[in-house]
Amino acid sequence: MEITIKDAAKAYLAENVQLGSTVLLTTDDGSNRYSTVGGTCAIGDKFQLVALTTDDPDYPITVANNAGWTLKTNADTELYLSNGLILDRVFNQLSLRDDSGILDSAVGLITYTAEEKSKLDLKKEMQTLGTRIC
């Protein structure tokens, strides 16, 4: 799998992601431990980048990219991605598209250290947000 990261997105990531981080490309639909939103209206429709200070073994698929980032995904997310994958920054939002069109025009970016991630209670956060989404 390969993604082209446009200059505007490269600049944004360089400002907001610690050098040497592993960046995950994953869904933001309630299907994984990094997602805080969910519901049937979000399946395959919402994506996020998650910057970690260590690798996550649940994301073994390397996504080749022109920015030199260690970018990974998993089989669950890969189902929604196609050829011609591009990450750009448009109207102050990260935008993900492929040959089929725009996949998400507001891709989220979150960063965690391993210690911070272990202290998060995302299930509780999802329950709180649950009344505000689909």
In a domain, 134, yes or no: no
CA 8, CA 133: separation in Å to the nearest integer? 29
Strand order in the sheet with 93-98: 61-62, 70-73, 22-27, 47-52, 101-112, 93-98, 85-90, 2-5, 64-65
Given a cut of 60, whether residue 39 has pLDDT beyond it is no
In a domain, 126, yes or no: no
In a domain, 82, yes or no: yes
Please, what is the Cα angle at 100 between 67 and 8, to 5 degrees?
30
Q: For the range 101-108, what are the long-range contacts, defined as Cβ-Cβ under 8 Å and sequence gap of 24 or more? A: 103/45, 103/47, 104/45, 104/46, 104/47, 107/47, 107/48, 107/49, 108/28, 108/46, 108/47, 108/48, 108/49
User: Average per-residue pLDDT in the chain?
Assistant: 84
In a domain, 103, yes or no: yes
CA 70, CA 134: separation in Å to the nearest integer? 33
Residue 51's pLDDT band (boundaries 50, 70, 90)? very high
* Closest CA relative to residue 82, chosen from 12, 16, 7, 2: 2
Q: Which CATH number covers residue 98? A: 2.60.300.12
What domain range includes position 30? 2-114
In a domain, 60, yes or no: yes
Identify whether the C-beta of residue 26 lies closer than 8 Å to the C-beta of residue 74: yes
Per-residue model confidence (pLDDT) at position 120: 55
In a domain, 131, yes or no: no
In a domain, 133, yes or no: no
Over range 68-91, report the average pLDDT: 95
* Total structural domains within the chain: 1
Per-residue model confidence (pLDDT) at position 133: 53
Given a cut of 70, whether residue 8 has pLDDT beyond it is yes
